[in-house]
Amino acid sequence: MSPPAALLLLLVTAAPVRWEALDDAGRTKALAELQPLPFEARLLAASARFLGTPYGLSPLGEGTGFDADPRLRWDRVDCVTFVEESLALALAHRPEEVLPRLDAIRYRDGRVGYETRNHLMEADWLPANARAGFARDVTLALGGADAVSAEKVLGEASWQSPEARALALPASVHATGHYGFGLLPLPHVGAHAGQFPSGTLLLVVREDSPSRVTRVSHLGLVVQDGGHTYLRHATSVGQRAVVDEELGHFLARQASLGWKLVGISLWQLQEPGAQAEAGPQRAP
């Protein structure tokens, strides 16, 4: 069911020409225009060219095999691939670097294959991209005394769930253990939201359950504009496209769903070796 229109409060701006509407020469020119900008500005500009791009669940794959979807495409994104492709475009300096950057983000050690893909956010995607220098947990720094340490616990019961079985991963690559991350509890988000830097990766964190393989149900990029905080994300409801949605209303909508929303986790996306502007993480 689509949410009431009043809940969306989308940021109405003149979006640039979408990546999907550009030909190869146009994309080369658009990528060249990003190069003089600081990384955060490149990320926001790259992501802005996805505004209005239609939502499609799991639009990327390995090109062959179990998931034969293309490794790179411009006409469909979901919440994860929107972030991955925006990050790859911000990291690339030339068109031929986009796909290798995307592979480095999506796969362990850049080894393309369904079994080596970073499927699970807490167990795969976040730690792999933190090790690669593409992402850094800044929740405790941005949330101050209100932020806490949290974790996702993966056990054998997690891999018996319907969502886990749907992944069709062999037992040899089933991640198990405790996977930590910073958490800003939902009641405290409003007090800090205005200070989240634009371009910050925001993860929606829900209540843990042994029968689930993740606590993260959605993600997007923070955009600060005109004194308001928005989430730029690929939504499967309403417009079913990449939109800028006012963060407070987005979280209210998320909280109305059955799986209890407990808070958010915040990650700085960056070039490897870059210094984190949010400063060092405080100790848990």
Q: Phi/psi of residue 39, each to 5°?
A: -55, -45
pLDDT for position 49: 98
The answer to whether position 280 is within a domain reads no
The answer to whether position 105 is within a domain reads yes
The answer to whether position 10 is within a domain reads no
Q: What is the pLDDT of residues 145-196, one digit of tens each?
A: 999 999 999 999 999 999 999 999 999 999 999 999 999 999 999 999 999 9
* Cα–Cα dist 228/230, whole Å: 6
The model's confidence at residue 281, banded by pLDDT at 50, 70 and 90, is low
Burial annotation 171-193 (CB, 10 A radius, 16+ → b, else e): eeebbeeebebbbbebebbeebb
Whether 1 has a pLDDT exceeding 80, the answer reads: no
The model's confidence at residue 283, banded by pLDDT at 50, 70 and 90, is very low
| CA end-to-end span of the chain | 39
Q: How many domains in the chain?
A: 1
The answer to whether position 284 is within a domain reads no
Q: Return the CA Rg of the chain.
A: 18
Q: What is the pLDDT of residues 82-134, one digit of tens each?
A: 999 999 999 999 999 999 999 999 999 889 999 999 999 999 999 999 999 99
The answer to whether position 11 is within a domain reads no
The answer to whether position 244 is within a domain reads yes
The model's confidence at residue 15, banded by pLDDT at 50, 70 and 90, is confident
Tell me which of 88-92, 233-237, 275-279 is least confident: 275-279
The answer to whether position 94 is within a domain reads yes
Whether 205 has a pLDDT exceeding 50, the answer reads: yes
Q: Inter-axis angle of helices 39-48 and 24-34, to 10 degrees? A: 150
Mean pLDDT over 52-75 rounds to 97
User: What's the domain range around 251?
Assistant: 17-269
Compute the half-sphere exposure of residue 88: CA atoms within 13 Å on the CB side of its CA: 24
Q: Phi/psi of residue 76, each to 5°?
A: -145, 140
Whether 257 has a pLDDT exceeding 80, the answer reads: yes
User: Does residue 232 contact residue 47 with C-beta atoms inside 8 Å?
Assistant: yes
User: Does residue 247 contact residue 82 with C-beta atoms inside 8 Å?
Assistant: no
User: Does residue 184 contact residue 137 with C-beta atoms inside 8 Å?
Assistant: no
The answer to whether position 1 is within a domain reads no
User: Does residue 142 contact residue 196 with C-beta atoms inside 8 Å?
Assistant: yes
Give the CA distances from residue 156 to residues 160, 167, 180, in Å, rounded to whole numbers and listed in that order.
7, 15, 18
Number of other residues whose CB lies within 10 A of the CB of residue 282: 12
Q: SS3 for the chain, per residue?
A: CCCCHHHHCECCCCCCCCHHHCCHHHHHHHHHHHCCCCHHHHHHHHHHCCCCCEECCCCCCCCCCCCCCCCCCCCCECHHHHHHHHHHHHHCCCHHHHHHHHHHHHEHHHCCCHHHECCCHHHHHHHHHHHCCCEEECHHHHHHHHCEEEEEEECCCHHHCHHHHHHCCCHHHCCCEEEEEEEEEHHHHHHHHHHCCCCCEEEEEECCCCCCCCCEEEEEEEEEECCEEEEEEECCCCCCEEEEEEHHHHHHHHHCCCCCEEEEEEEEECCCCCCCCCCCCCCC
pLDDT for position 5: 39
User: Does residue 27 contact residue 19 with C-beta atoms inside 8 Å?
Assistant: yes
Q: What letter represents residue 251's amino acid?
A: L
Q: What CATH number is given to the structural domain containing 132? A: 2.30.260.10
Burial annotation 125-139 (CB, 10 A radius, 16+ → b, else e): bbbbbeeeebbbbbb
Whether 263 has a pLDDT exceeding 90, the answer reads: yes
Q: What is the mean pLDDT of the chain?
A: 92
pLDDT for position 14: 63
